[in-house]
Amino acid sequence: MINLKQISKLILIAFFIQACSTDKTSQKNCIVEDILFINGKIITLNTSNDIVDAIRIRGNKIVAVGEAAKSGNDCTQVIDLKGKTMIPGLIDSHVHFVRQGNMPGIDVLEAENTHSIKELLDLLKKEDGKYPENKVLTVMGGFSAKQFKENRLPTKEELSEALPNRAVYIQQGFSGPAIANNKALEFFKSKGILVAVDGKFKMGKESNQAFTALKSTTNTADKEEGLKRLMNYANSLGLTSVHDEGGVNFPGGGYFDHINDYDALTTLWKKNELSIHYRIQHVVYDKTTEEGDLEAKINNTWQGFGDEMLKYSTVGEHIVSFPIDGKVNPAYERKAEKAAKDGWPHEQHSVSFDENRQHIEAIKNIHKQYPITDLRWSLAHAFELGIDTTKFIIEAVKEMNMGLKLQNHGYITKTDRFPLGKTFESNNAGPLYKTLLKTGIPLGAGTDACLVVPLNPWYSIYYMVTGKDVAGTLVNPNETISRLDALKMYTLGSAWFSFDEQQMGSLEEGKLADMVILNKDVLAISDEELKLIRAEMTYVNGEKVYENK
């Protein structure tokens, strides 16, 4: 017979065996500190472009990469990537993100991913079931008739038949043209706005009036919800950080109140509900050299002030009023000098060759007295570099350690409208990715979304590596770059402009855990499949902010 002492001994032995064989993460007193991702194709984008199969994060930081990641804290959550590809979070270095979050109604961003009228209508019908009937479904820019196989936009009749009980308003660009269904036209009539029989609003005054009427129905709570929807959509594409460019100071979809239109963003920041890193830029439109909005901004903020999720980074893309007939506002040099003197980075919207030349001349004058070498100034767009004097501009940019922020306008719009192309004695739609990459100038990628160009970064990357527009037409020949170079421009390249390259842009020990697990292998799939890439999971600051379920 087994006595009590033997029973106790057997219990202790059994307990010991159980303790030794149990996964320590399941023990009651084990607090999981690490997340280990294994069996993946992890594109680090470090200096060696290493591709590894494991990465370990702790809190909001990456603590180990590759073989070193496989040993560490006993309290570890293990995620098997099962061969899926991971990349650093994408950074859009030039985007009007908050402005888009403030758009009226329920802005259906996914419309930029539809390719036929039927697909668009099906998407709108799907969204129809999610919201109260008094909400207007809107599609605010970022699309083109070229993306639809019908090569046109839907008609009033098509929209009304698909959604008879829901107001729908679709607007292109800053000031239209636009189209509305019958339900939406009833709303506009109630606001005293004249409507056409075909439901169309012409570009300019008509579209601006319709937009303003919709905007008048938007409150702060609507803007907060709109910004959360936009962040979720951005996370689903792999975006983890944006350089926000505010907006313009004239009526229409592009208007942005630089005093009040960040209220929704700061409210969500206070609630700890941001899933995107924001680098806020001071955008103002001072008309003269007198002290104005620029001085009020600079004198009352510090460059880099904020936290990892929300901070001030730069002045621009505008610090004075728009150029008129190619002539830059004479106040520009004085205002830009203020930024240099106070140690602020500066980004300047610059489109034509004449604008580029005038901006560079002013910046060179400033540089003589207040060197900007360490301030990372930049030109945005810089489409028309000029045929005979491109060398002058590139040399000046390199000499002052400036960079260029490049966007993919040619993917969606005919660029000679600006004009953007006809550079280096060519008819390229631009930007000249390959040519500029060879110069060694710091380059950041972005979209200028959302009113003119889609937010989807994979359309931009597709354009960078193929030179083809949304219709598949080659418009930027001989200026394509590799997929790795495109990814680097969208990560480390963009991070450089906000002094973030030491903590973002690559998957390396000590950096922020901003990571994206993709649904496709970006390095192995066909060019056309690039446009179909989406995030399976997105991590920002070590937190999972999106999962495709």
pLDDT digit string (tens) for 348-359?
999 877 888 899
Cβ count within 10 A of residue 370:
16
pLDDT of residue 415 exceeding 90? no
Six-digit token string for 282 = 């001071």
pLDDT of residue 37 exceeding 80? yes
- The residue whose two tokens read 């937009």 is 211
pLDDT of residue 367 exceeding 60? yes
When comparing pLDDT for 476 and 163, which is higher? Answer: 163
What is the CA 323 to chain-centroid distance, rounded? 26
| pLDDT 10s digits, 288-298 | 999 999 999 99
| pLDDT 10s digits, 524-544 | 999 999 999 999 999 999 999
- Tell me the CATH architecture of domain 220-504+515-525: Alpha-Beta Barrel (3.20)
Report the top-level CATH class of 4-83: mainly beta
Helix (H, G, I), strand (E, B) or coil at 430: coil
Residue 413 neighbours by CB under 8 Å, 6+ apart: 144, 452, 453
Task: Judge contact between 343 and 375, C-beta under 8 A.
Answer: yes
Task: Please state the rounded mean pLDDT for residues 387-410.
Answer: 84
The type of residue at 193 is I
Count of CA atoms in the C-beta half-sphere (13 A) of 473: 11
- The residue whose two tokens read 């003197």 is 341
pLDDT of residue 305: 94
pLDDT of residue 10 exceeding 50? no
Task: Judge contact between 441 and 428, C-beta under 8 A.
Answer: no
Question: Is the CATH number 3.10.310.70 carried by domain 103-215?
Answer: yes
Q: What is the pTM of this model?
A: 0.93
pLDDT of residue 285: 96
Residue 204 neighbours by CB under 8 Å, 6+ apart: 175, 176
pLDDT of residue 20: 36
- The residue whose two tokens read 């110069």 is 439
Task: Please state the rounded mean pLDDT for residues 472-499.
Answer: 96
User: What dihedral angle (degrees, nearest 10) is formed by the CA atoms of 528, 530, 534, 536?
Assistant: 110
Q: Where are the domains of the chain?
A: 4-83, 103-215, 220-504+515-525
- The residue whose two tokens read 């980075």 is 345
First CA to last CA distance, the chain: 58
Q: How far apart are CA 90 and CA 460, in angstroms?
A: 12
Task: Judge contact between 216 and 188, C-beta under 8 A.
Answer: no
| pLDDT 10s digits, 232-266 | 999 999 999 999 999 999 999 999 999 899 999 99
What is the pLDDT of the chain when averaged over all its residues? 91
Burial class of residue 10 (count of CB atoms within 10 Å of its CB; 0-12, 13-18, 19+)? exposed
DSSP 235-271: HHTTEEEEEE---BSSSSTTB--TTTTTHHHHHHHHT
pLDDT of residue 260: 93
pLDDT of residue 390: 62
pLDDT of residue 29: 67
Count of CA atoms in the C-beta half-sphere (13 A) of 163: 31
